[in-house]
Chain A
Amino acid sequence: MPEADGREHASPAVADAVIEERSRLSIVWVIPIVAVLVGTWLAYRAFTERGPLVTITFESAAGLEAGKTKVKYKDVEIGAVEQIDLSADLSGVVVQARLGREATRYLTENTRFWVVRAQVSAGRVSGLSTLFSGAYIGIDPSTEGRPQRHFQGLPVAPVVTSDVPGRLFTLRAKAGGSLEVGSPVYYRSADVGDVVASELDESGNHVTVKVFLRAPHDQRVRKNTRFWNVSGIDLRLSPEGLELDTVSLTSLLIGGAAFDTPKDQDPGGPVEEGAVFELYPNRRAMLQPKLTVKRPFLLHFEGSVGGLVDGAPVEFRGIQVGEVRNVRLEFDADTNKLRIPVLIELQPERIALNSGGAVVSIGMDEVRRNWDDLVARGMRAQLQSGNLLTGQLAIGLDFHPDAPPAKINWDAPIPELPTIPSPIEELKTGLSQFVKRLSEVPLEQVGNNLNKTLEQLERTLASANALIAPDSEAGSELRRLLRDLADAAQSIRLLADHLEQHPEDLIRGKGAE
């Protein structure tokens, strides 16, 4: 049976479909291909944009959580903590953080990491937002230096980050005072910088304080600029009276430093970053001229030196020429005597030299000759009252031509300058002598004598009283006498009258007419 017939027989009413050729490959396979392409591209991008893994060592992982804690710069998320492990020696924690690719070139040896937590301290409050969001890791990126992947995390946020223009300077101080990291640095009471580090140097003799001064104030630091500590209150009882020095309440709480260039000095040229300056303990110390030549002398005083303290001024007619270095009690075994040597330092640089501008340099011999000459002319040291209110003493130098002659003993380890008692001392001595003499007076005897005299006087008066009493014999006689006297006077008056009328009676006699 032919196929055509068969088809017609089987289903005569069925129409044949119109046949078209079509592509053998289904278009649907585009979907997985696209998916693969997109997936590959995503994977490639994820791999190539996968930033560096850094390890940061912190003291503690407080507030840090693997997979959650972010690394932020200027509040922009640039990475996240992936893993937190204890360090091998259990001294800290090692945090592994994956940063964005763009962070690669900022990971150098100068880059710093720290944990930002809420912090409230005297002077500043920071990181309050972390109270809600949890701690995050802060970064201070730096492009300078060798690339690095392992970092030591800072215990606290750095005060100064590298995006703030300014310069660092180093200060050396005998004591750190209450300067801490974050303490402000003032220039004429304006906050222009911060203390960024304060640590003992290796020798342990000095405290090295690093300060950061923000631009443009860092330009105010010149060669002759001086820094001083303004921590707390500088309250001093000095011969000048009560001195109070403080800059601000903040510096009272967290300390601070200040700097300035003394007005009477040439400010000097600009300085390099990192220049080293001395940190004076206070403003007063800063204001004192820098004195290098110091000439020690020893003074011996007879009386009390109560009120004389280290640092008390040595004055010549009211102008300071030096200061007291040391006051102590000394026992001289040879003479079995207690002495009070007072060590002073004269600072010849305080004395302006009028030599016509020429620099005069003189040898030791001439210095001695000069001093000998001065002493010969009566130069003596004397305790003076520096401050009547506080009773502090100062040492005065002046010429006393009538002082007993003395000489400087140049052979002693420290030359000794002759002294004379102070005016007060003289007064005291005179007074005590007077009192002594007074005590020598035989007061008891004097009293006894006086007593006797008085008794006699009493007796005399009593007898006198007896004489003039109205009922006494002497009294009546006296009255008779007085009466006789009155009669006599009467007769004389009569006689006088008579004679006035009859002057001839003087020659002829009365009744002789």
Chain B
Amino acid sequence: MSEPEKALAARSLASCHDCALVVRLPAGRAHVAARCPRCGAKVHRRKVDSLARTWALVITAAMLYVPANIYPVMTVTSLGKSQSDTIMSGAIYLLQHGMWPLALVVFVASVLVPLLKLAALSGLLISVQRGSSWRPRDRTRLYRITEVVGPWSMVDIYVVTILMALVSLGQLASIEAGLGAVFFAGVVILTLLAAESFDPRLIWDRAEASHARS
């Protein structure tokens, strides 16, 4: 048995998620669902439809990113005077008032991180689709960073929700969440799901295949 044949044989095997039975999957057939012969659970070698799902979620998140930055996130009403701020105007406001560390935090967590996440996921998806074998190790690390950093973007949403609950003094002062907060939460959640649905093993599959071809 040659090396490629061995690899192929290994790739046609999978472990059942429920009962851990190792089953053989039919090779080379797309769009079929395999079930465990013992417990009946669905058996996959890789995450199902990983690329398509990730793409769909990334695209949706990218679309939501636009209104998330246009609409105000928070409306502060103080003594009858109300002020609405978008994420960007909030960061600028903080910067203008000399609170640049805070401004930096807001800018990084709420503007830069989601954007970079979207860029990183898109980059990973494209590289996997094109079957690139370029630095699979670094790309995997990038994926891990993306996954770890992702939830921190929710800080903004937490701040808004906590302030809303804390500052509700009727006519004196009140804080309301804007439409932008909803979109922003959507962006963060969708990027989290996208990162979750991406299967980093695909990076190595392609690298292996190209390696085998060469």
Contacts and interface: CB of A to CB of B under 8 A. Distances in A.
A138 to B, nearest CB: 16
Contacts of A14: 13, 22-24
A17 B34 contact: yes
A133 B35 contact: no
Contacts of B21: 15
Interface residues of B, number: 39
B52 interface: yes
Given A14-B13, A14-B22, A133-B81, A19 B49 contact: no
Interface in A1-36: 7, 10-11, 14-24, 26, 28-29, 31-32, 35-36
B9 interface: yes
Interface in B16-66: 21-26, 29-38, 40, 43, 49, 52-53, 56-57, 59-60, 63-64
B60 A31 contact: yes
A439 B24 CA distance: 161
A14 B12 CA distance: 11
A11 B60 CA distance: 44
Which interface class (under 10, 10 to 19, 20 to 34, 35 or more) fits A?
Answer: 20 to 34
Contacts of A24: 30-31
Nearest to A133: B80
B52 A28 contact: yes
B210 interface: no
Given A17-B37, A132-B80, A133-B79, A23 B31 contact: yes
A32 B59 contact: yes
A32 B63 contact: yes
Contacts of B40: 18
Looking at A17, A18, A35, which has the most chain B CB atoms within 10 Å of its CB? A17
B56 A32 contact: yes
B75 to A, nearest CB: 11
Contact of A29 (B25, B33, B52, B82): B52
B168 interface: no
Contacts of A35: 59-60, 63-64
Nearest to B16: A17
Contacts of B83: 68
A39 interface: yes
A42 interface: yes
A11 B53 contact: no
B1 to A, nearest CB: 7
Given A22-B31, A68-B83, A7 B24 contact: yes
Nearest to A15: B37
A119 interface: no
Interface string B94-138: 000000000000000000000000000000000000000000000
A134 B13 CA distance: 71
A255 B9 CA distance: 104
A76 to B, nearest CB: 14
Given A7-B24, A35-B60, A21 B67 contact: no
Nearest to B54: A28
Contacts of A36: 63
Interface on chain A toward B: helix, strand, loop, or mixed SS? mixed
A222 B153 CA distance: 74
A81 to B, nearest CB: 14
A116 to B, nearest CB: 13
Nearest to B6: A10
Contacts of B31: 21-24
A278 B60 CA distance: 74
Given A21-B32, A22-B33, A129-B80, A15 B56 contact: no
Interface in B135-179: none
Given A21-B32, A32-B63, A16 B56 contact: no
A65 to B, nearest CB: 10
Contact of B23 (A16, A20, A31, A32): A16
B56 A19 contact: no
B37 A18 contact: yes
A17 B25 contact: yes
Contacts of A18: 34-37, 40
Interface in A36-89: 36, 39, 42, 68
A333 to B, nearest CB: 79
A133 B40 CA distance: 66
A39 B67 contact: yes
Contact of A26 (B49, B60, B81): B49
B9 A29 contact: no
Contacts of B59: 32, 35
A22 to B, nearest CB: 4
Interface string A130-174: 001110000000000000000000000000000000000000000
Nearest to A7: B24
A28 B81 CA distance: 44
Interface of A: 7, 10-11, 14-24, 26, 28-29, 31-32, 35-36, 39, 42, 68, 129, 132-134
28 contacts: A10-B9, A14-B22, A14-B24, A16-B24, A17-B14, A17-B25, A17-B26, A17-B37, A19-B26, A19-B33, A19-B34, A21-B31, A21-B32, A21-B33, A22-B31, A22-B32, A23-B31, A28-B52, A29-B56, A32-B59, A35-B59, A35-B63, A35-B64, A42-B67, A129-B80, A132-B80, A133-B79, A133-B82
Given A28-B49, A134-B81, 9 more contacts: A14-B24, A16-B24, A17-B35, A21-B31, A24-B30, A32-B60, A32-B63, A42-B67, A129-B80
